[in-house]
């Protein structure tokens, strides 16, 4: 059972349940290695200890002398450096403690451990992971240490495990209460024991950091050892850090610097133009509020009054035009009626005149004329 590592800030409540069920964290990035887990087996007061990291971060909580600093020292710079130098072993960067102290009880009154077997052995390990095209890939750094009572030396084996095998998932560092030696892990896929520490450091430098040699790895370890030390200001070497940062960062071409400078100059010019534009905007706004807007309001009211009067006159003209159009329509109707009456009178006149002319030439009219003449003659004779 593997769960992807949650991003920083996400809820980690599901992790304890996964641990209780025997699960393991999984990577969530493919662009670089992620630090997932670390632990020890049978070192100092820890029988088996393991802690998980969220987004590369871990927080140890506990009382003083509970082993927080010791666990960090056993699972941090030692495994990255491939070296058991006293400054790396001791959390405070001092010289009075060796790695054998964590492997075998010393019998010192301040050592709370009981004396054990004549041979003491244990593991320290650090697990990295990343997503690949064919799934998750894991890279585990391991250190095996064995101390024999009465023997001054310390037997150590540096090893890595690259592939899918993981601690508690194919890479079992202990069986019950017994610590398994490196020879018992030779058949695990991806497990490699380095014949000497230099080979181990070359593996870590190349496969984890992409360095061509261990020199840059040594510089990184030195920087980390200084940064984790209390009273940092007393041990910090600015010249060393500056040189390492210059080595780590690629050189910048002069043309790029010139282009960047031109860009900054252009940005400054834009800033000045922006400030000038803001000043002009504020001046225009003040002028508008103080002079132009009142004048425009007065002019608009005046023009609006003229417009309203013109609209009123236009409405009156429209009403007069409508009344005139109605009167014209009535007159046209009356004209049409009068024209009809006139035409009827003309027709009547024409008929009367025709009758008159017909009467004048009628025999009756002629006879009446003769009668009138005779009457007139008779009156004269009488």
Pairwise CA distance, residues 303 & 291, whole Å: 18
Determine the pLDDT at residue 233: 47
HSE at residue 276, side-chain half, CA atoms within 13 A, is 6
Pairwise CA distance, residues 103 & 116, whole Å: 11
Per-residue pLDDT tens digits for 185-199: 999 999 999 999 999
HSE at residue 170, side-chain half, CA atoms within 13 A, is 14
**Which range among 73-77, 176-180, 353-357, 378-382 has the greatest average pLDDT?**
176-180
Q: Which residue has the higher pLDDT, 135 or 252?
A: 135
Per-residue pLDDT tens digits for 205-222: 999 988 887 888 887 777
> Packing angle between helix 293-360 and helix 363-381, nearest 10 degrees?
70
> Poorest-confidence range of 7-16, 132-141, 253-262, 287-296?
7-16
The residue-averaged pLDDT of 219-243 equals 64
> Poorest-confidence range of 212-226, 236-250, 335-349?
236-250
Residues, the chain: 382
Q: How confident is the model at residue 335 (pLDDT cuts 50, 70, 90)?
A: very high
10 Å Cβ neighbour count for 289? Answer: 10
Per-residue pLDDT tens digits for 273-301: 999 999 999 999 999 999 999 999 999 99
State the burial class of residue 151 (Cβ atoms within 10 Å of its Cβ: 0-12, 13-18, 19+): exposed
The answer to whether the CB of 33 falls within 8 A of the CB of 139 is: yes
Mean of pLDDT over the chain? 84
Q: Transcribe 270-323 into DSSP letters.
A: HHHHHHHHHHHHHHHHHHIIIIIHHHHHHHHHHHHHHHHHHHHHHHHHHHHHHH
Determine the pLDDT at residue 105: 84
Determine the pLDDT at residue 13: 60
Per-residue pLDDT tens digits for 60-95: 888 887 888 888 888 988 999 998 888 788 766 555
With a cut of 80, say whether residue 12 has pLDDT above it.
no
> What own/partner pairs with CB < 8 Å and gap ≥ 24 does 16-23 have?
19/52, 22/168
The residue-averaged pLDDT of 107-113 equals 72
Q: How confident is the model at residue 231 (pLDDT cuts 50, 70, 90)?
A: very low
What percent of the chain lies above the pLDDT cut of 70? 86
Pairwise CA distance, residues 51 & 11, whole Å: 17
Per-residue pLDDT tens digits for 23-60: 898 898 888 899 999 999 999 889 999 999 887 788 88
Pairwise CA distance, residues 312 & 256, whole Å: 74
3 state SS for 96-151? CCCCHHHHCCCCCCCCCCCCCCCEEEEEEEEEEEEEECCEEEEEEEEEEEEEECCC
With a cut of 70, say whether residue 145 has pLDDT above it.
yes
With a cut of 70, say whether residue 8 has pLDDT above it.
no
Global pTM exceeds 0.85:
no
DSSP bridge pairs for 146: 121, 155
Going by their DSSP bridges, the two strands 170-171 and 166-167 should be labelled as: parallel
Q: How confident is the model at residue 235 (pLDDT cuts 50, 70, 90)?
A: low
State the burial class of residue 224 (Cβ atoms within 10 Å of its Cβ: 0-12, 13-18, 19+): middle
- Please give the C-alpha separations between residue 290 and each of 277, 285, 297, in angstroms, as whole numbers: 20, 9, 12
């Amino acid at each position: 059972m593997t769960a992807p590592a949650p991003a920083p800030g996400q809820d980690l409540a599901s992790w304890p349940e996964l641990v209780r069920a025997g699960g393991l964290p999984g990577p969530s990035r493919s662009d670089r290695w992620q630090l997932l887990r670390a632990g020890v087996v049978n070192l100092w007061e820890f029988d088996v200890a393991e802690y998980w990291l969220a987004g590369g971060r871990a927080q140890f909580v506990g009382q003083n002398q509970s082993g927080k600093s010791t666990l960090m020292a056993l699972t941090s710079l030692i495994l990255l450096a491939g070296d058991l130098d006293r400054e790396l072993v001791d959390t405070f960067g001092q010289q009075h403690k060796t790695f054998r102290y964590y492997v075998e009880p010393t019998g010192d009154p301040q050592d709370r451990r009981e004396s054990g077997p004549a041979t003491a052995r244990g593991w320290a390990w650090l697990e990295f992971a990343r997503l690949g095209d064919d799934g998750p890939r894991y890279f585990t750094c391991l250190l095996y240490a064995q101390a024999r009572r009465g023997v001054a030396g310390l037997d150590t084996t540096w090893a890595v495990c690259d592939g899918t095998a993981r601690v508690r998932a194919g890479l079992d560092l202990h069986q019950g209460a017994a610590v398994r030696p490196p020879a018992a892990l030779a058949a695990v896929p991806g497990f490699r024991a380095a014949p000497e520490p230099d080979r181990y450091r070359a593996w870590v430098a190349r496969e984890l950091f992409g360095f061509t040699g261990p020199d840059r790895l040594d510089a990184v370890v030195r920087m980390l050892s200084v940064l984790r030390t209390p009273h940092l200001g007393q041990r910090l070497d600015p010249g060393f850090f500056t040189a390492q940062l210059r080595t780590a960062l690629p050189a910048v071409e002069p043309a790029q610097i010139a282009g960047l400078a031109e860009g900054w100059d252009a940005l400054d010019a834009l800033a000045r133009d922006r400030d000038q534009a803001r000043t002009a905007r504020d001046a225009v706004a003040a002028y508008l509020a103080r002079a132009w807007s009142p004048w425009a309001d007065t002019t608009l009211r005046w023009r609006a009054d003229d417009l309203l009067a013109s609209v009123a006159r236009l409405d009156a003209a429209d009403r007069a035009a409508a009344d005139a159009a109605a009167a014209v329509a009535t007159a046209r109707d009356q004209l049409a009626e009068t024209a009809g009456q006139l035409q009827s009178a003309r027709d009547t006149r024409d008929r009367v005149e025709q009758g008159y002319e017909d009467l004048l030439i009628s025999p009756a009219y002629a006879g009446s004329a003769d009668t009138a003449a005779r009457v007139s003659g008779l009156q004269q004779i009488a």
